Chains A and B, each alone.
Chain A
């Protein structure tokens, strides 16, 4: 039994009924995470994306969560108020089965960091319709030494998956020597 510690859980809640499909969340996210900051408004660089199927009245903002090198079986469908959603519509995994949450130039994973340091994530700030809302709550959890990987680590992981550890460490060593 581990020690109980207090922890702030931060989450973005999505009210699908309030979404008007404007995709401003994508734009704000891409802008905030661009380097230099605000230098790009390209939705393809966003860590939150709208899954849209207008004919099915499907407008779902989904936030990238974690990277995986494998596809899941992903064949479940959910019917809500007569509208059929695929399992992928709600899934934030950065996976090989779809072209979401991948940096358009490098293909490296893009992970939501909740806009660390801002009062609210930018996607929430720009969503005047309140389809996206931000919540912080304090919970007591067992102390967990494991640190969740950040975006850079996910990027490294995806490179390892693609090229193998040996090649990557060779390249790293070579580049380190060059300074």
Chain B
């Protein structure tokens, strides 16, 4: 009997039109849990490093996390994993909404797609009945438009659809996969487009078994109520009106200008008034009591659902205001472009035009207003028309294709990938490590458990630590030692980076939403899911018997496996750099020490390659063998990772509560940031 998971993957070969339902190996669940962990295993086994992103041999894998479809609240993520055309590395993408639970109820944990369809198709999964259907009538259609047409023609409004828009069809490197209220970002839409797969429609009515239903349900009912009441959980930036944090601190335009003091009460009042005017409601994902999405209907546009920091990226890149973002998102989400990379590549093009590198020849009839320029370039981009064909390859490649000094304007990418636009003063040690070493190439998919800022007042600091349920004891010590305007020690920085990334790997395997888990500890330390209570949910649902240390070990295994895929594809220490002007003041010697020590701690070589000893101990001996065969390792590397126990005298396993949330009635993000930033 399989619990929490269905035990089956759907294997679809679009070249041959072949569809198979394949039983999976239960031992892989014990080793990797599921989600991007088991997806990484499939990619390692079946997509060798010679296979390029746009090869029919590349796989596009949709994975509902291990706990998705169980009553665990806030657990609804579908991971989309493939080899990215932009980086040639393992891509990392997740989306919420309703798709994952529907897939589980249809009887599958994953959809593994290989090959390329001769013409545009869509996949229709109706429990055991699976069809590849013609999608020629959906060509060029918007993502939600596509979903609506499919539901209409299949005559079932309860079908869940994930679709690409024009951007995916045209293989834009920043193409997303769009679902009702969520999107899979970081370029996975381009691979879906390359496979000529317009959409996946799922309907599932089957049962999913869990190991201990009664206890699990009762725990989840209580946890759901606690999560609703907790002011720490959810996307607080979506619902609080003050957004000085992004607007005063993040960089505008092509990640260029910081506008300290931009945020005023007048802006806040005006934006609030406008938002309330066009906002129908706040909305959530499957089985989550929080309100992280905005259902909006801007004048003259169709209604859509907005999520996450897409609320700020467009107008900040364009030097406009919130009304601009609401309006252009109605277009960009239908086209299916990422709200991080797309605004940046457009702002990059505008800078090149102002610098005379792009001219009126490249941009005929280019408007003068920055907002009009965004609409102009968005249309070129999604059609790969003229300069859009170059920009569609992302900032890094476009800069090199354009030449004439355009490379200088590519200053906010890591590993060829556009970053969140942030430009700061002095180097921050934990952040240096997270930027350099994350295989997710996205800081928001790496940071989140340890606070971004220290607490100045020693009494408040102590109080914070005393109530900090989520943290292993060593982090309390680091936090107590942390004075304002100083960096944590090298040891602390390494551990902070390690904890932050580990919790994301837990979420990406289980399907927990980062806004109630891995991302949510950094402001106020009050996350709903942490290393100590997640095992309880896993054990009750999946019938496993793991504790916090076991969970950490699984996350470490998944982290190393993803790392190994990238190493086999050429990733080395030389690639591990922050965006070049991310900090004005750098400390090269310290940075070298940080990276040296981090690699040692992780049990990697000084070139960032997991050692044989580390791989063997993680049960990834087959990776070590392959590395030795390929000459990546000699086999003599004996640097083992450092053990990081979660339990201690102060924190004994027996005393851990199942569903512990930090208690507070007073917390708001606005006040917290005012005080600590």
- CB atoms of A22 and B229 under 8 A apart: no
Q: If the complex has contacts A22-B288, A38-B213, A41-B210, are A126 and B224 also in contact, measured as CB distance less than 8 A?
A: yes
Which residues does chain A contribute within 8 Å of B285, judged by CB atoms?
A: 22
- CB atoms of A24 and B206 under 8 A apart: no
Partner pick for B105 among A44, A51, A59, A99, CB 8 A cutoff: A44
Complex Cα distance, B285 from A125, in Å, reads 18
Q: Does B156 contact A (CB under 8 A)?
A: yes
Which residues does chain A contribute within 8 Å of B221, judged by CB atoms?
A: 28, 125-126
Which residues of chain B from 488 to 510 have any CB-CB distance to chain A below 8 Å in the complex?
Answer: none
Which residues of chain B from 98 to 146 have any CB-CB distance to chain A below 8 Å in the complex?
Answer: 98, 101, 105, 144
Tell me the nearest residue of chain A to B74, going by C-beta. A22
Which residues of chain A from 38 to 66 have any CB-CB distance to chain B below 8 Å in the complex?
Answer: 38-45, 51-57, 59
Work out how many contacts link A and B, with CB atoms closer than 8 A: 101
- CB atoms of B228 and A27 under 8 A apart: no
B503: min CB distance to chain A, Å: 23
Q: Does B660 contact A (CB under 8 A)?
A: no
- CB atoms of A128 and B205 under 8 A apart: no
Q: Mark B197-219, 1 if CB is under 8 A from A, else 0.
A: 00000000111111001101110
Please choose the segment from B35-43, B65-73, B614-622 that sits at the chain A interface, where 4 or more of its residues have CB less than 8 A away.
B65-73
Which residues does chain B contribute within 8 Å of A19, judged by CB atoms?
A: 281
Partner pick for B289 among A36, A57, A128, CB 8 A cutoff: A128
Q: If the complex has contacts A54-B305, A55-B303, are A27 and B229 also in contact, measured as CB distance less than 8 A?
A: no
Q: Does B546 contact A (CB under 8 A)?
A: no
Which residues does chain B contribute within 8 Å of A43, judged by CB atoms?
A: 101, 105
Which residues does chain B contribute within 8 Å of A116, judged by CB atoms?
A: none
Tell me the nearest residue of chain B to A51, going by C-beta. B157
Q: Does B593 contact A (CB under 8 A)?
A: no
Complex Cα distance, B195 from A36, in Å, reads 44
Supply 24 A–B pairs (Cβ within 8 Å), ascending by A: A20-B283, A20-B289, A22-B285, A22-B287, A22-B288, A24-B73, A24-B287, A27-B71, A28-B221, A36-B213, A40-B207, A40-B213, A41-B210, A41-B213, A42-B208, A43-B101, A55-B148, A55-B302, A104-B205, A125-B221, A126-B225, A128-B289, A129-B228, A129-B289
Q: 6 other contacts beyond A41-B69, A54-B303, with CB at 8 A cut-off?
A: A20-B290, A21-B284, A22-B285, A40-B207, A44-B205, A104-B205
Complex Cα distance, B207 from A166, in Å, reads 34
Complex Cα distance, B105 from A113, in Å, reads 25
Partner pick for A24 among B98, B210, B289, B304, CB 8 A cutoff: B289
- CB atoms of B207 and A42 under 8 A apart: yes
Which residues does chain A contribute within 8 Å of B281, judged by CB atoms?
A: 17, 19-20, 57, 59
- CB atoms of A56 and B287 under 8 A apart: no
Tell me the nearest residue of chain A to B541, going by C-beta. A41
- CB atoms of B284 and A22 under 8 A apart: yes
Which residues of chain B from 225 to 253 have any CB-CB distance to chain A below 8 Å in the complex?
Answer: 225, 228-229
- CB atoms of B217 and A38 under 8 A apart: yes
- CB atoms of A41 and B208 under 8 A apart: yes
Q: Does A6 contact B (CB under 8 A)?
A: no
Q: Does A76 contact B (CB under 8 A)?
A: no
Q: Does A31 contact B (CB under 8 A)?
A: yes
Q: DSSP class of B's interface residues: helix, strand, loop or mixed?
A: loop
Partner pick for B287 among A27, A39, A52, CB 8 A cutoff: A27
A62: min CB distance to chain B, Å: 13
A contact residues, total (Cβ < 8 Å): 35
Q: Mark A84-105, 1 if CB is under 8 A from B, else 0.
A: 0000000000000001000010
Q: Does A174 contact B (CB under 8 A)?
A: no
Q: Does B605 contact A (CB under 8 A)?
A: no
Q: Does A33 contact B (CB under 8 A)?
A: no
Q: Does B280 contact A (CB under 8 A)?
A: yes
A63: min CB distance to chain B, Å: 17
Tell me the nearest residue of chain B to A104, going by C-beta. B205
B289: min CB distance to chain A, Å: 5
Q: Which of B105, B225, B287 has the most CB of A within 10 A?
A: B287
B140: min CB distance to chain A, Å: 19
Partner pick for A104 among B101, B206, B304, CB 8 A cutoff: B206
Q: Does A111 contact B (CB under 8 A)?
A: no
- Chain A interface residues (CB < 8 Å from chain B): 17, 19-24, 27-28, 31, 34, 36-45, 51-57, 59, 99, 104, 125-126, 128-129
Complex Cα distance, B213 from A36, in Å, reads 9
Which residues does chain B contribute within 8 Å of A17, judged by CB atoms?
A: 281
Complex Cα distance, B73 from A57, in Å, reads 23
- CB atoms of A53 and B289 under 8 A apart: no
Which residues does chain A contribute within 8 Å of B209, judged by CB atoms?
A: 39
- CB atoms of A55 and B213 under 8 A apart: no
Partner pick for A99 among B156, B181, B282, CB 8 A cutoff: B156
Which residues does chain A contribute within 8 Å of B158, judged by CB atoms?
A: 99
Partner pick for B217 among A31, A45, A51, A129, CB 8 A cutoff: A31
Q: Which of B69, B281, B297 has the most CB of A within 10 A?
A: B281
Complex Cα distance, B206 from A104, in Å, reads 8
Complex Cα distance, B282 from A104, in Å, reads 31
B549: min CB distance to chain A, Å: 29
Which residues does chain B contribute within 8 Å of A52, judged by CB atoms?
A: 157
Which residues does chain B contribute within 8 Å of A129, judged by CB atoms?
A: 228, 289, 291
- CB atoms of A57 and B303 under 8 A apart: yes
- CB atoms of A21 and B207 under 8 A apart: no
Which residues does chain B contribute within 8 Å of A45, judged by CB atoms?
A: 207
Q: Does B357 contact A (CB under 8 A)?
A: no
Q: Which of A22, A23, A41, A57 has the most CB of B within 10 A?
A: A41
A26: min CB distance to chain B, Å: 9
Which residues of chain B from 158 to 214 have any CB-CB distance to chain A below 8 Å in the complex?
Answer: 158, 180-181, 205-210, 213-214
- CB atoms of A54 and B180 under 8 A apart: yes
Which residues does chain A contribute within 8 Å of B604, judged by CB atoms?
A: none
- CB atoms of A128 and B228 under 8 A apart: yes
